[in-house]
């Protein structure tokens, strides 16, 4: 809400994840929730918690553990596609460690 007020109700800049093909791949891979976080003062703690900078994508396990991620120039449609193909195995590995 604060971001909207400070930016005249404009959304954050577009990213590769604003394209339906990328979001569809994430869904097919089993990613249930997708959240786009604006780089604002209010979100600094969240960026710090996950040790990320703006223009970073991370995929987390249900408990918030980071499973994989891409940032900066790595954020391309082809890299997202590769990451999505690897995601089910990453999640299965995480689940087996939690048992």
DSSP assignment of the chain, as one string?
-HHHHHTTTPPPPP-GGGSHHHHHHHHHHT----------GGGHHHHHHTT--SSEEEEE-TTS-EEEEEEGGG--HHHHHHHHHHHHHHHHHHHHHH-
Domain tally, the chain? 1
More confident residue, 80 or 34: 80
- Give residue 51's pLDDT: 93
Q: pLDDT tens, 42-68?
A: 899 999 999 999 888 899 999 999 999
**What average pLDDT does range 65-73 have in this prediction?**
91
Mean pLDDT of the chain: 86
Range of the domain at 63: 2-98
Confidence of residue 1 (pLDDT cuts 50, 70, 90): low
- Give residue 76's pLDDT: 85
């Amino acid at each position: 809400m604060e971001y909207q007020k400070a930016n005249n109700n404009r959304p954050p800049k577009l990213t590769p994840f604003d394209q339906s093909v990328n979001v569809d791949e994430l869904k097919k891979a089993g990613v249930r929730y997708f959240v786009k976080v604006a780089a604002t003062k209010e979100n600094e703690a969240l960026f710090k918690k996950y040790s990320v900078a703006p223009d970073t994508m991370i995929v987390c396990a249900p408990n918030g553990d980071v499973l994989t991620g891409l940032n900066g120039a790595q954020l391309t449609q082809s890299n997202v596609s590769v990451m999505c193909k690897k995601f089910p195995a990453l999640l299965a590995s995480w689940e087996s460690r939690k048992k």
